[in-house]
Amino acid sequence: MVEVKDKYNIWGGRFKNQTDEIMENLNASIFFDYKLAKFDIEGSKAHTKMLAKQQILKEEEAKSILDGLDTILSEIETGNFEPKVSLEDIHMNIEARLAELIGPVAGKLHTARSRNDQVATDFRLWLRDRIDAIVDLIYELEVALVMKSSENIHTIMPGFTHLQCAQPITFAHHLLAYVSMLDRDRERYMDTRKRLNESPLGAAALAGTSFPIDPDFTARELSFSRAMMNSLDGVSSRDFALEFLSSTAICATHLSRLSEEIVIWTTSQFDFVKLSDKFTTGSSIMPQKRNPDAAELIRAKTGRVNGALITLLTVIKGLPLAYSKDLQEDKEPVFDAAETIEIVLKVMTGMIHDLKANVETMKKSSELGFSTATDLADFLVREYNLPFREAHKIVGELVLLAEEKSCTLKDLTLEDLKGGYNDLGIEALNTLSVEGSVQSRNSKGGTSPESVKRQIQYWRETLKCA
Ligand code: ARG
C-alpha cells in the first residue's frame, strides 16, 4: 500500500483541510475491498455503456473511459496497480487512476452514480462469483462421499444414538446422510444467489437520479436478473450477505459434525478409519502420533464462520435507511467466511477421498453393546404376534441376564431364552447377526445394502456422476 502526500482531492471543494491520519486508517477500506477491484471495473464498464447508450455521455468520452478501465484492469491483473490508503477505498482508487490515465473526462464516469450503489453492486458481483465456486466445491465433496459410499456398501459399523452403540448400520449409509445435508447446503446457496442477483446500480446515493438512465440495461450487462425495485433498498440492504453467511454457517456446521466424527473414528479406541498422510500431522514429541488436524481445524473454523454471521447481523441491526458507513463493515466477515468455507470444503473432499475404512474393526465394534437387541424384539413381534412393548421388556430382561453372565445375546442358552419367553427356540438367535440386522432394514432410506444401493443410484443420477 502506497502513501501519498499529494492527494487526489476526493471530496471536491467542501473541505479545506485533510483528514487526520488516524481517521484515514479507520475510514479506509482499501485494505480489504481491493478484492472487489475486478468487479468494480465490470460495474463501471456497464455503467459507462449505459450512459453512452442513453446519450448522457458522448461516444468518444465513453470510449476513452472504457479504454482507461481496461488498462487499469490489466494493471490489476498483472499486479501493477498500487492502491493508496489516502484514496480510502477501491472505488476512489480506480477513479483516481482513471483520471491519471485519461484526464478530466474520468470525472464523467460518476454521473448518475454514487459509491453507495457502486459498492452494493460490486459486493453482489463478488459474492455471486464466490457462491458459484462454493456450489461447485460442495458438489465435489458430495461426489467424493458418494464414491466412498459405493466402496462401503457392505461395511458394517455401529450406528449411534447418544454416542452409545444403538443398531448396526452400513458405513455407506452413514456417509450418505452427509450427502443429503450437503445437497441441501448447495441448494441453499443457489437459492441465496437467486435473491442476490438483482442490480442496485441506478439507485445512486439513495433516491435515484434525475438523469435518464436505463438500469435494466446495466442489470443485463452484468447478468443480473433485473434492476432493483427501490433505490433505498438497493443501497442499504445486505440481507443477501446475511443469507450467504447463514448458508455458510449451516454448511460449516455440517462439516464440523463430520469432522468431529472423523476425530472420534481415528482415535485408537475406535480405530474405524485411517486418514492418509496428506491430511494427518505428527507430534513433535510423541513419535507414535497421527493427529487428525485437518478435521479438528474444520471443526474449529465453524466458530469463525458462525461469528461472521453474528457480526453482520449486529452491524445491520437497528441501522436506519439508507446508507451509513456502518455498511462498510459488511465486507470483512463475508470475505473471511467465503475464504474459510472454500478451503475447508477442499480439505474435507481430499480427506474423504483418501479415507480408508477399517472394515474388521468397525464390524467387531458393531457387535458390541447388544446392538441387535431390537432385531430380537422385532422377531418376537413378528413370530408370536406380541405387542412391541412386551417384546421390548422380554429382550430387556435377556440383555440384563447376558450382562450378568458377561456374555453376548448370542451366547445365551436355550434355557435362558425360554426363561425370557417360553416359546422362544434357539433359531431366534439367528436374528442377532449384524449382517442380518442391516440387511433387514430395507425400508426407504434405511441402512440395508439394497437400500443404500438405491440411494447411491439416486445420487449418481441427481449429481450426474458416474
Ligand atoms: N467504502 C465504502 C463502503 O464500503 C463505499 C461507499 C462509501 N459511501 C459513502 N457514502 N461514504 O461502504
For residue range 82-95, what is the model confidence (pLDDT) as tens digits?
999 999 999 999 99
**Of 172, 203, 183, which Cα lies nearest the Cα of 138?**
183
- What is residue 87's predicted lDDT score, i.e. its pLDDT? 94
Confidence of residue 140 (pLDDT cuts 50, 70, 90): very high
Rounded-to-integer distance, Cα 57 and Cα 211, Å: 11
pLDDT of residue 29 exceeding 80? yes
Rounded-to-integer distance, Cα 233 and Cα 226, Å: 14
The residues of the chain that CATH labels 1.20.200.10 are 116-154+170-205+232-364
User: What mean pLDDT is reported for the chain?
Assistant: 94
Residue nearest to atom 11 of ligand 1 (CA): 325
According to CATH, the superfamily of the domain at 4-111 is Fumarase/aspartase (N-terminal domain) (1.10.275.10)
Report which ligand 1 atom has the smallest distance to the Cα of 327. 12
160 forms beta bridges with 165
Residue nearest to atom 4 of ligand 1 (CA): 328
Query: Is position 283 annotated as part of the catalytic site?
Result: yes
Query: Is position 366 annotated as part of the catalytic site?
Result: no
Pocket test for ligand 1, best of 89, 110, 324 (most atoms within 8 A of CB): 89
Residue nearest to atom 10 of ligand 1 (CA): 116
Mean pLDDT calculated for residue range 15-31: 89
pLDDT of residue 4 exceeding 80? no
Mean pLDDT calculated for residue range 294-322: 98
Query: What spacing in Å lies between the alpha carbon of 226 and ligand 1's midpoint?
Result: 23
Mean pLDDT calculated for residue range 184-205: 98
DSSP string, 134-162: HHHHHHHHHHHHHHHHHTTTT-EEEEEET
Which helix (H) or strand (E) element contains residue 79?
A: none
Query: What spacing in Å lies between the alpha carbon of 119 and ligand 1's midpoint?
Result: 7
**368-463 has which CATH code?**
1.10.40.30
- What is residue 282's predicted lDDT score, i.e. its pLDDT? 77
Taking CB atoms and a 6 Å cutoff, what residues make up the pocket around ligand 1?
29, 33, 89, 115-116, 119, 323, 325, 327-328
For residue range 419-428, what is the model confidence (pLDDT) as tens digits?
999 999 888 8
Q: Yes or no: say if 101 and 64 are a contact pair by the CB < 8 Å rule.
A: no
pLDDT of residue 199 exceeding 60? yes
**Which of helix, strand or coil describes residue 168?**
strand
Confidence of residue 307 (pLDDT cuts 50, 70, 90): very high
Confidence of residue 19 (pLDDT cuts 50, 70, 90): confident
The residues of the chain that CATH labels 1.10.275.10 are 4-111
For residue range 42-52, what is the model confidence (pLDDT) as tens digits?
999 999 999 99
User: What are 415's three cell numbers?
Assistant: 434355557
Query: What spacing in Å lies between the alpha carbon of 107 and ligand 1's midpoint?
Result: 18
Q: Which residues contact 385 (CB under 8 A, 6 or more apart)?
A: none
**What architecture (CATH level 2) is domain 116-154+170-205+232-364?**
Up-down Bundle (1.20)
User: What are 109's three cell numbers?
Assistant: 464516469
Query: What spacing in Å lies between the alpha carbon of 92 and ligand 1's midpoint?
Result: 10
Higher pLDDT pick, 27 / 15:
27
Task: Indicate the pTM of the whole model.
Answer: 0.93
Residue nearest to atom 2 of ligand 1 (CA): 328
**Of 444, 452, 448, 432, which Cα lies nearest the Cα of 374?**
432
- What is residue 15's predicted lDDT score, i.e. its pLDDT? 80
pLDDT of residue 247 exceeding 80? yes
Rounded-to-integer distance, Cα 299 and Cα 347, Å: 12
The residues of the chain that CATH labels 1.10.40.30 are 368-463
Q: Which of the residues 74, 223, 283, 324 is marked catalytic?
A: 283
pLDDT of residue 284 exceeding 50? yes
Q: Which of the residues 150, 162, 231, 247 is marked catalytic?
A: 162
Mean pLDDT calculated for residue range 153-165: 96
Q: Yes or no: say if 328 and 303 are a contact pair by the CB < 8 Å rule.
A: no
Higher pLDDT pick, 62 / 371:
62
Exposed (0-12), middle (13-18) or buried (19+): which is 38, by Cβ within 10 Å? middle
Pocket test for ligand 1, best of 95, 119, 238 (most atoms within 8 A of CB): 119
Mean pLDDT calculated for residue range 382-395: 94
